[in-house]
Amino acid sequence: MLTKEAREELEHQHYKIVGSHSAVKTCGWTKNMIRGQGGCYKLKFYGIMSNQCMQMTTSISCANRCVFCWRGYKAPVSKDWAWDIDNPEDILAGSLKAQQKLLVGFKGSEKASKKLYKDSETVKHVALSLTGEPITYPRMNELLKLFNQQGISTFLVTNAQYPEAIRDLAPVTQLYLSLDAPNKELLKSIDKPLFADYWERLLSSLDYAAEKTERTCVRLTMIKGLNDHSPEQYAELIKRGDFDFIEVKSYMHVGESRQHLDKKNMPMHEEVVTFCNILVKYLEDYEIVSEHIPSRVVMFAKKKFYVQGKWMTWIDFPRWNELVQNKKEIRVEEYWKATPVIGISGKGTLDYHSEDLRKKQVNAQNYSAAENIEEIDLDKDEKEENEQEKMNENADECYEEIGIEEIEIKES
């Protein structure tokens, strides 16, 4: 799949190539978490521990050349699989080994939490979203089974150009579809698809996503001045996919995308929030639940996830592991979990980067909070409620470990 030049380019960008068509790269939030400096949006929205998350792909090739993608021009593009097929056992073993190599530098680092680094040696989650189109790997379902057997939860992202692969996909903890434009004409100019029937493929992918009984999410990448409009058209497509969650995220001006877009095309977080406040008016079955300012992303959830005064967007991972091993059909209600912190803060990108939000240093209390974040529970007794009030009074410090600022705690 990779030419010598493409492999060298990826390795220069700190990718670890696994076999002939897979790759692993450490996410910056994984490193931040080990340093005790905060976790990514998947921690705040869904409860995934960033220090135990592996970011990888099973196919570096893709059927699109999206203008906002960071992939280099040497990265392969193809509509069909035309290469050797590595064994899923080799991909799993090689990926876990690559993840350990990428993080081993933290072992003796004074800036790292010893416990958080030790925990990182046990991968508990895989994000199949690094680059390319992972769903095209012909033995994906076998690999998913191996992840399940090891108690590793899975988030898989697809560009919605392979509807039959979505239809036939084995259960994943959460399936993502990218929706990069509100209409056919704009999708062609943004994604630059190889398939002539790209729009029909997208629509079929939405239909198959709607049939899934596990968790599904649609991702909108907002490019300022290009696709940040027509919320009513986005809403119709989202409804067709009947997704559990919506993530609206800012385009980031990095990598090869800088050859196609300007920095001014990158919305600030508050601009993403403004668009979301308009979009939600066309989505009667959804509410805005949370945000992650550093990532410039807002999360919506279906109203069915609001149960007895609590949002249930987090994942009960032990329950998921049990279900995926023993049931053919899994429903979202069987493995949801209360969301500890929710709401929109009213703050934005400039607030996040201001000096008063950056001046605090990592300390032992931050490490402890990060290490025990999975134990957060909304079923508080009176003592815990008093402690929560104290946390709210010092929100910048109390939430620093998960990389967020002062936010609203929704009362039951």
113-143 pLDDT tens trace? 999 999 999 999 999 988 899 999 999 999 9
Name the band, by pLDDT with cuts 50, 70 and 90, for residue 269: very high
Name the band, by pLDDT with cuts 50, 70 and 90, for residue 9: confident
> Mean of the per-residue pLDDT values for the chain?
86
Q: Any idea which of 165-179, 286-300, 304-318, 341-355 has the lowest mean pLDDT? A: 341-355
pLDDT for res 248? 98
Name the band, by pLDDT with cuts 50, 70 and 90, for residue 388: very low
For residue 239, the Cα-to-chain-centroid distance in whole angstroms is: 21
Name the band, by pLDDT with cuts 50, 70 and 90, for residue 86: very high
**Domains of the chain by start residue, with CATH:** 4-402 (3.20.20.70)
pLDDT for res 73? 64
Task: Return d(Cα 356, Cα 337) in angstroms, integer.
Answer: 33
Task: Return d(Cα 121, Cα 312) in angstroms, integer.
Answer: 29
pLDDT for res 368? 35
pLDDT for res 401? 37
User: Phi then psi for 218, rounded to 5 degrees?
Assistant: -110, 135
pLDDT for res 350? 85
User: Phi then psi for 205, rounded to 5 degrees?
Assistant: -65, -40
Task: Return d(Cα 351, Cα 27) in angstroms, integer.
Answer: 24
pLDDT, tens only, 396-412: 333 333 343 333 333 32
CA angle, 259 then 175 then 18, to 5°: 60
pLDDT, tens only, 312-350: 999 999 999 999 999 889 999 999 999 999 999 998 888
Give which of 294, 287, 279 is closest to 410, Cα–Cα.
287
Task: Return d(Cα 316, Cα 335) in angstroms, integer.
Answer: 5
Burial (Cβ within 10 Å: 0-12, 13-18, ≥19) of residue 412: exposed
Other CB atoms within 10 Å distance of the CB of residue 301? 25
* Beta carbons within 8 Å of 253's beta carbon, 6+ residues apart: 261, 262, 263, 265, 266
Task: Return d(Cα 149, Cα 175) in angstroms, integer.
Answer: 19
Is 356's pLDDT higher than 80? Answer: no
Average pLDDT of the segment spanning 66-72: 83
pLDDT for res 70? 80
Average pLDDT of the segment spanning 74-101: 93
Is 109's pLDDT higher than 60? Answer: yes
Task: Return d(Cα 220, Cα 210) in angstroms, integer.
Answer: 17
pLDDT for res 364? 33
Task: Return d(Cα 361, Cα 400) in angstroms, integer.
Answer: 10
**Tokens 């030419």 map to which residue?**
3
Give percent of the chain above pLDDT 90: 71
Task: Return d(Cα 397, Cα 385) in angstroms, integer.
Answer: 18
- Decide: 287 and 366 in contact? Cβ < 8 Å: no
Is 391's pLDDT higher than 80? Answer: no
- Which DSSP state fits 260? T
What is Dmax (Cα atoms) for the chain? 62
Is 303's pLDDT higher than 90? Answer: yes
